[in-house]
């Protein structure tokens, strides 16, 4: 696996905070890996996030095949996609 860096500059939490994601992204790259629960994905949250990211010129890859407490195989699959 290739080396990579992961930065977590801000954690947004609260009702409606998803709408404020745009101002935090400039300077952190042009691509994002969105790991999301399959139920939240089906409920449309990933589409909303992808739309917000596109609004600030960030391309997103969505991964929604997440199990609670994923094993190494699930993590390997996510890493390969990322």
Question: CB 21: neighbour CB atoms within 10 A?
Answer: 18
Rounded to an integer, what distance in angstroms lies between the CA atom of residue 42 and that of residue 64? 9
Coil, helix or strand at residue 34: strand
Q: Please give the residue that has the higher pLDDT: either 28 or 9.
A: 28
Examine the pLDDT at 68 and tell me if it is beyond 80: no
Write the pLDDT tens digit of every residue in 21-67: 877 777 777 888 998 889 999 999 999 999 999 988 899 999 998 88
pLDDT for res 66: 84
pTM to 2 decimal places: 0.73
Angle, vertex CA 20, rays to CA 12 and CA 59, nearest 5: 95
| Separation in Å, CA 76 to CA 46, 65, 71, 79 | 21, 12, 9, 5
Structure tokens at 28: 């952190």
pLDDT for res 41: 93
């Amino acid at each position: 696996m290739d080396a990579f860096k992961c930065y977590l500059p801000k954690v947004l939490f609260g009702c409606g905070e998803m709408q404020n994601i745009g101002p935090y992204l400039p300077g952190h790259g042009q691509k994002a890996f969105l790991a999301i629960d399959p139920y939240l994905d089906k409920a449309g949250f990933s589409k909303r996030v992808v739309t917000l990211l596109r609004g600030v010129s960030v391309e997103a890859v969505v991964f929604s095949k997440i199990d609670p407490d994923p094993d190494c195989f699930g993590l390997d699959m996510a890493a390969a996609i990322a």
